[in-house]
Amino acid sequence: MRLRTTFVLASRSPRRRRLLEQIGIAFEIDPSDVDESAPDDMEPHMVAEMLASRKAEDVAPRRRDAITLGADTIVVLGGEILGKPSGSVEACEMLRRLSGNTHTVYTGIALLHPRTERSICVSEATSVTFGRMDADEIEAYVASGSPMDKAGAYGIQDDRGALFVERIDGDFYNVVGLPLRRLYRTLRESFTDLLSPST
């Protein structure tokens, strides 16, 4: 996908960077450092969208001619949002809770183009079912360090993290951190004039 204008990723996430590279979007990185707290009574999809918008709105004013992408991924189990673990103990506890259960991964994506005053925010939901994990499996995965920077303490794209997933219902890439189909369709529908004819 090619754009007529600069595309900015408002994130340091190496996973989102790789996914944008995968679909051929040329982009620049301008990370946001906004507060990621949210009201306890807010619906999960709204939390993901709010945080994605907050990130995009933090960066977009200094990149007025660019399309800025803000994104946020959350893991929800039994109505509770599981954020990034604070340490290995919390990571183990999260994985024990996910073991043998189905949770939902929400990713909000916000696209802002200040020059034309366009602002679009949508979200994608994917259900993920984990198989049963024993304590040794969980501890070995946590000891690898991989879960520590990920919502819900796992990455479906990780060598070991992938072994826990029994089934998914929805967009695989949404679980990684960026729903590529939804991003593509949103750009096609809302920013057609900023796409190259060959897109």
Residues identified as active-site: 72
Closest listed residue to residue 132, CA positions, set 104, 164, 178, 174: 164
The token pair that represents 154 in the structure block: 């796992």
Q: Which helix (H) or strand (E) holds 75?
A: strand 67-77
Cα–Cα dist 20/145, whole Å? 24
Q: Quick one: 3 exposed, middle or buried, by C-beta within 10 A (0-12, 13-18, 19+)?
A: middle
